[in-house]
Chains A and B, each alone.
Chain A
């Protein structure tokens, strides 16, 4: 089964790097969309079918926390699993993002297999509280 993925990060380099990791992970990707902030992500989510969202936290215009709130407050989007990818490895931040509805949290830097495994789990419908590298 092929999946549609949305990568949300204000760094084009990081978006390209994540896309490469996903391609190498063996996951079957149908479409890989990307957005530079939460607002662009919402616009894409409302116009396209997406199976999973990978998002950074610190972004201009709309950050990852606001994006999570918007997704979980929208009955058409709330079932889409969101995986947070962030440099912030503090327990407080992780708990805050999970409380806002994130399904998983991967810290940057990450090993390619760490991200691939987290994606597989979420796409299989599993949720895990802590798989930080």
Chain B
């Protein structure tokens, strides 16, 4: 499988979720951040299906996570806790992954495991996957996907 096959549906899925649920636009792809440290917050999940399996993850800075969360929940930023940011990132990773799989393998059923926050599996050693960083109108979203057919 070519990683280029994964890129377009992945960007489309992320754009759809961010625009409809968080009111954020994807401006385009940018190069990966120089360093991802403990100021970043991530969520990842595993999925399995009859046409493949894999792992999907997202990662944002704490500031971007707070913006995403306040937009998603419709509350002020001062009301937003770290726990809420992690909760929303889990939900976001679940939705982007589901949207991606529907686009990429819409004729198959996949079971998505519960997303896990932390454990910073950012840009792991991918053999069959892609890593992308998207510039948003407020911040960046770093995402990665490994898909094995």
A1-60 at interface with B (beta carbon < 8 Å)? 10-14, 16-17, 20, 58, 60
B88-113 vs A, Cβ < 8 Å mask (1 yes, 0 no)? 10110011011100100011111110
User: In the bound complex, do residue A89 and residue B102 qualify as a contact, i.e. CB atoms below 8 Å apart?
Assistant: yes
Which residues of the other chain, B, contact A87 by a CB distance below 8 angstroms?
A: 94-95, 97-99, 112
Which residues of the other chain, A, contact B69 by a CB distance below 8 angstroms?
A: 13
Question: Is B126 part of the contact surface with A, judged by Cβ < 8 Å?
Answer: no
Segment from B1-9, B14-22, B25-33 that makes contact with A: B14-22
**CA of A89 to CA of B106, assembled, Å:** 7
User: In the bound complex, do residue A11 and residue B109 qualify as a contact, i.e. CB atoms below 8 Å apart?
Assistant: no
* A13 and B84 in contact, given A109-B20, A109-B99, A110-B20 (Cβ under 8 angstroms): yes
Which residues of the other chain, A, contact B102 by a CB distance below 8 angstroms?
A: 88-90, 107
User: In the bound complex, do residue B106 and residue A91 qualify as a contact, i.e. CB atoms below 8 Å apart?
Assistant: yes
Which residues of the other chain, A, contact B87 by a CB distance below 8 angstroms?
A: 11-13
User: In the bound complex, do residue A17 and residue B16 qualify as a contact, i.e. CB atoms below 8 Å apart?
Assistant: no
User: In the bound complex, do residue A88 and residue B98 qualify as a contact, i.e. CB atoms below 8 Å apart?
Assistant: yes
A95-133 vs B, Cβ < 8 Å mask (1 yes, 0 no)? 000000000000111110000000000000000000001
Which residues of the other chain, A, contact B110 by a CB distance below 8 angstroms?
A: 88, 90
Which residues of the other chain, B, contact A12 by a CB distance below 8 angstroms?
A: 87
Residue of B nearest to A132 (CB): B102
Residue of A nearest to B22 (CB): A109
User: In the bound complex, do residue B73 and residue A108 qualify as a contact, i.e. CB atoms below 8 Å apart?
Assistant: no
Assuming A17-B21, A58-B114, A87-B99, what are 7 further A-B pairs, CB within 8 angstroms?
A: A11-B90, A12-B87, A17-B73, A108-B21, A108-B95, A108-B98, A109-B17
Could you pull out 5 A-B pairs where Cβ atoms are within 8 angstroms? A11-B87, A108-B98, A109-B16, A109-B20, A109-B99
Q: A residues near B, CB below 8 A?
A: 10-14, 16-17, 20, 58, 60, 86-93, 107-111, 133
